[in-house]
Amino acid sequence: MTWSLNQKQCYEAAKIRWELVPYTRGRGLDVGCGLEKAFPHFIGVDNNQDEWLFGEGNRAVAADLIVPDATVLDGLASGVYDFVFSSHMLEHVEKYQDALKEWWRLIKPGGFLILYLPHADLYPRRGTEGANPDHKWDFREADIIQAMKDLGGWDLVRNEQRDEGEEYSFFQVYKKLESADQLFSHADPKPVGKRCAIVRYGAWGDAVQMSSVLPGLKEQGFHITFYTNPRCWEIMQSDPHIDAVYLQDTNQVPNPWLFDFWEHERKKYDRWINLSESVEGTWLALKGRPNHSWSYETRCKYLNANYVEFQHALAGVPYVKPLMKFHPKSEELVWVKEQRSIVWGPVMLWAISGSSIHKIWPHMDQIFARFLLTYPQGRIITVGGTLETHIEGPWRREPRVIRKSGKWSIRETLAFTQTCDIVVGPETGILNAMAMEPMPKVVILSHSSPENLTRDWINTQAVHSVKTACWPCHRMHYTSEFCPRDEQLGVAQCQADLGPDMVWSAIQNALRSQNRQAA
């Protein structure tokens, strides 16, 4: 549209808010934020002049930093910010080239300068009826590009005239480069054909389960964009079925705003697949949701569905078997070969714990002792985060227990695990990633049933307590409020009740089966 006299002249950033998300991860500034920052995590910078510019009375601006002049921010360090955003402010600055130079100084290489400005062809020119009397300039896209040419290397990744709905502006995003090149990737050819978006935030196991739908979507001819968080992307970045990624930090878009964000984004795609809460919240009840307060019997009856099969249904991909897969990079395969040359077998990889308080089994030491006595040539690899290093401690003097918690990355762990003779652990991303790998697996269940998780995995034995009254609880646990604990062992009751004999029997059966197949 073109601006009209009844058009409100503030809160412009709200019109472009959802387009900012991929460029405003981390820490950055909202210069000229006025009465409302575009997102809560932005650092608001303003001169506190909205009162006389827009007649806003004595309402306080949203600024975290009040400055008299946006061209002088010398109290802020150079090259440390991930982004600088400014909406409908630069046209108020007499020396706008100086402002751009100052903002550019603050941005680190790889960061973004994001500008949203009134368009000279859509908004009244200076001095005409309806024009803001404080405007110093009438801008078009080329004016800003010209000013940016003196500021070093950049890539103009977005350059759009915005004239739909109530917009009368243009939108530009400059990515700061290490080199002196000045690129215009916004003009690159866009994907052709059908486009699909998959939304899945969460932990490693959530990402791996999601990977099962990707081959089917590719067979249907989709270009796939993956909306996710950095943790999921860490293990999915080498998946050959993903064409583009849209990264979001945790709470970057506050949870109450997510629905509006998703509704905005879904219009860009032929198929929108939102797998958020496709497991947690649906089949694993969350505190505060109605299904969390259902009786144990009702939860067992109605929440006992297979996680991956449900995700296939949501994605519109036929389900025959799960297709989860971790794809190592070529350099990771070289690294694995080097590691495996000094670690011979049989090799049992043990995932010590998962991401929740109930995903740790307390009788690990007994299994280690039995394994080392039974298999004199055997090796045990223990993996986990830095918090798991103290659990490995009792085995620090045993050379056949190779302790890698906090030392290997998750990608190194998954790449190495693909070569092991047996994998044991709770309901973790590691076990999910190995679901369809040929080696035997023993999964120690906690809040899920075999139907939920391991029903269709290959060469897998799921073990669980047979005497804990609340197993399987079909609930998500972030505290022990609804998860009974064994006070002596300090773990979930369902884990304490599962004795070492059952797990050891499953491990022996798995290894014997593998030996028979090899013979």
Query: Which of 49-58, 159-168, 253-262 shows the lowest per-residue confidence on average (mean pLDDT)?
Result: 49-58
pLDDT at 319: 97
Average pLDDT in the 349-373 region? 94
| Residue percentage of the chain with pLDDT more than 90 | 86
* Greater pLDDT, 216 or 343: 216
Domain 330-518 has CATH 3.40.50.2000: yes
Task: For 153, list phi and psi in degrees, rounded to 5.
Answer: -85, 135
Mean pLDDT, the chain, integer: 93
pLDDT at 52: 52
Comparing CA positions, the residue from 389, 375, 398 lying closest to residue 507 is 375
Query: Which of 38-52, 119-133, 167-181 shows the lowest per-residue confidence on average (mean pLDDT)?
Result: 38-52
pLDDT at 255: 94
Pair 220, 192: CB distance under 8 Å: no
Pair 223, 243: CB distance under 8 Å: yes
pLDDT at 47: 86
* Greater pLDDT, 186 or 5: 186
How far is 490 from 362, CA to CA, in rounded Å? 9
Average pLDDT in the 45-51 region? 77
DSSP string, 423-465: EEEES-HHHHHTTTSSS-EEEE-SSS-TTTTTTT-SSEEEE--
CATH topology identical between 13-187 and 330-518: yes
Q: Which amino acid is at 443?
A: V
For the CA atoms of 72, 75, 81, 84, the dihedral, rounded to the nearest 10 degrees, stands at -30
Pair 82, 24: CB distance under 8 Å: yes
User: Where along the chain do its domains lie?
Assistant: 13-187, 195-315, 330-518
Task: Please give the CATH architecture assigned to the domain spanning 13-187.
Answer: 3-Layer(aba) Sandwich (3.40)
- pLDDT over 90 (residue 54): no
- pLDDT over 80 (residue 518): no
How far is 297 from 482, CA to CA, in rounded Å? 16
- pLDDT over 80 (residue 476): yes
- Given phi > 0 = left and psi -120 to 50 = alpha, else beta, which region is 122? alpha
Enter the tokens of residue 196.
């699909």
- Residue-wise pLDDT for 311-322, tens only, equals 999 999 999 999
Residues, the chain, total?
A: 519
pLDDT at 511: 87
- Residue-wise pLDDT for 401-449, tens only, equals 999 999 999 999 999 999 999 999 999 999 999 999 999 999 999 999 9
pLDDT band at 261 (very low <50, low <70, confident <90, very high): very high
How far is 414 from 131, CA to CA, in rounded Å? 60
pLDDT at 6: 58
pLDDT band at 354 (very low <50, low <70, confident <90, very high): confident
How far is 310 from 191, CA to CA, in rounded Å? 29
Comparing CA positions, the residue from 23, 62, 68 lying closest to residue 44 is 62
Pair 358, 494: CB distance under 8 Å: yes
Enter the tokens of residue 248.
């979001």
Beta pairing partners, 293: none
pLDDT band at 265 (very low <50, low <70, confident <90, very high): very high
Q: What is the largest CA-CA distance in the chain?
A: 90
**For the domain bounded by 195-315, which CATH number is listed?**
3.40.50.2000
| Residue percentage of the chain with pLDDT more than 70 | 95
Strand order in 422-426's β-sheet? 401-403, 379-383, 347-351, 422-426, 441-444, 460-463
Pair 305, 319: CB distance under 8 Å: no
pLDDT band at 356 (very low <50, low <70, confident <90, very high): confident
Average pLDDT in the 52-76 region? 75
Comparing CA positions, the residue from 329, 213, 316, 211 lying closest to residue 271 is 316
Enter the tokens of residue 27.
């820490």
- pLDDT over 80 (residue 1): no
pLDDT at 58: 47
pLDDT at 519: 47
CA angle 155, 156, 159 (to 5 degrees): 170
